Structure formats: C-alpha cells, structure tokens
Structure 1
Amino acid sequence: MAKKILMLVGDFTEDYETMVPFQALSMLGYQVDAVCPDKKAGDVVRTAVHDFLGDQTYTEKPGHNFAITADFDAVDTADYVGLFITGGRAPEYIRLNARVIEIVQEFFKDKKPVAAICHGPQVLTAAGVLKGYKATAYPAVGPDVTLAGGTYVEVDASEAVVDGNLVTAPAWPGDTAIIREFVKLLGAKIEI
C-alpha cells in the first residue's frame, strides 16, 4: 500500500503550486489525497496562474480545474505521513475552517512533515503552529509569520527553508526545492 500525503487545496489555489507537487509526489509512489472543505472526491476546485510581470504584485489568470481526490470530511490524520498546503488565494479562506486548523495542529503535534508554499503559511499562522519556527512565504505573508511567533526568512523564490518537520517556499519557482526537501523529510531515498 502506498504511503499517503494529505494536500489541502481550495478554489483559486495556485495552479503550479498544486499541479506540480501533486504530480511529482504521485510519480514518486505516494498516494496524494487532495481535499478541500465542503468538497468530496470527484469535485473540482478552480486554480489560478500567478505570474510576476513587473507590477508591484503578481498577476492572476484562470488556471485549470483540479480534481479533488478524497472526501474532506473523512480525513483522519493518522492515515498520512505528511501534509502539503498549497498557495494562491485558497489559504486565506480555508484557514477559517475549524477542521483545517485541527488537521494542521495534529500534524505538528505528531511532528510529521509539513510543506507550505507561497500563501500556504497563512494556514499555519491561523493554526498557531509557527512559534519558534523559521519559515518563508510569499513576501506579503512575511508579517503574518512574524506575528504568529515564527521567524520570517527572505529567500529567492526558487529556494526553500527547512526547520525541523517544516519546509516552506515563497512561490511556484520553488516547487523543485520544496518538493525535494519535503521528500527528504518524508525519508524517501531517490537514487539516480
């Protein structure tokens, strides 16, 4: 039986920060259960493509429909070896769901690997789990990390920050780095 990863998503999750980790972790043999509050397996969430075109912030364009692969209401964190929180706009509202907060707190209580990219750390700040952790995020989320008791670390968008069981990255250019470090935290060995 494949080891299972829980992926928290929502409408207007960032396309690359969802599709790339989902496909890469699946390719490595993990069963990735993508869930969203109030949705069941087979439902979809819309994604958004964020890009940096020289404006003061990113642009947002419609992405793909992303299929939910498991029922949110059936999540039992004991079934999973790790948690991946996608970015985009979804974190700002899924963090308002009490069960999302409990899920995150359960992963931290059990010291299981957790990855959060871009705006994903907003879910971590709402769950109150960042105290004493170093983390990165999309720069606009940096103050939230600090206010939640974490230490915000500014890195290039292509990098990731690891602290204990947590790995974070600032945006989709860091997909490779966050997935690589998350897989290391999961204990996977990849030989070329």
Structure 2
Amino acid sequence: MTVPLGGSLCIGALLLGGAVVVAGVFFYVYNRLVTLKNRVDNAWAQIDVQLKKRNDLVPNLVNTVKGYAKHEKQLFENVTKARAQMMAAGTVESKAKASGGLTDALKSLFAVAENYPDLKASQNFMMLQEELSGIENKIAYARTAYNDSVYHYNNTQEVLPYVVLAGALGHKKRQYFEVSEEEKKAPNVDF
C-alpha cells in the first residue's frame, strides 16, 4: 500500500509540528528551572551578605563588652568560636546551624551585659546593639525570601512536565534555611 504524496506531507507536517511542540516544552521547562534556581542562588547571596555583616560586627561588640566585663573569658571564647564556625560553614545546613550557634552566643553576651549598667549606658554598646538588631531583622527577612524561593523551586520540580526533566537536567532540591530548635524557644524575660 502506498501513501499518496499529500498524505505523506500531512504526516511529515504532523511529525514536524509535534517535534516543535516537544522542543518548545523542553525549552520552557529548562528556562523556568534555571530562572527558579537563579532566584534561590540570589536569595542565598542576600543571606550571605547579612551573615557577613553580622560576623564583621561581632568583634567590635565583643571588644566593647570586654572593656567592662574582663572576667567573662569563657563567654568571649564561646562567641569567638561561634563566629569562626559561622565563617567556616559552607552548606545551607551548616550555615543555618552555625548561625543559630552564633545567635545563642550573642544572646549570652547581651545577658551578661545586663549585669553591667555602665556598659548598657555606653553609647558605643547601644549603637552596636542597635546595628546588630537591624542586621538580625535583615537576616530574618532574607531567610524568608530564600525559603520562599526554595519552596517554588522544589515545588516546580515535583509537577508535570518539570518532574520528567528536572533530574535529567541536573536540578536537585534545595534545603530550607531553618531556625534551630534553640532559636524557636521563647526567651525568658524577668521583671
């Protein structure tokens, strides 16, 4: 049985049309995944900037408190160690853990500062404390933006047609920047 010339042209056009549709879907999926991955990377970079600002502020804060509370050696060592761990952390998970450790160490530092009225009244200490508070707020905002980007990136990889191509294109799920269990606890406030 032979196919008339018009029939083979029709089949060829259908095959070509199908190939164009498949290629279009592939390019759309690829571009969407790359865009979402880049958003996650950008959001992570924003967190990194704020973490670096906080790390740069910590030595000034420690030196200010040292001037008033010279005998709190262990506390200063804990803050310095937590800062070093934060700077050495490479993955999202390790940075989140190290960030929680530094936050805890800084809370202890501020708790000790409560015992030194002259320190609390120090203009330099108040300025550093205010700056740190602002940075912590920016970290929280950047963490929210990052986790939102991760949510969209991970969610997109689980739906059709992305689920079919995401793994083949080398896209892997990203981890959320989660707060530590210690950070989730409400602080004790004594009056």
TM, length-normalised to structure 1: 0.25
TM-score normalised over the length of structure 2: 0.25
Greater strand content: 1
Q: Which has the higher contact order (CA 8 A, sep 6+)?
A: 2
Name the one with the larger helix percent: 2
Bigger radius of gyration, 1 or 2?
Answer: 2
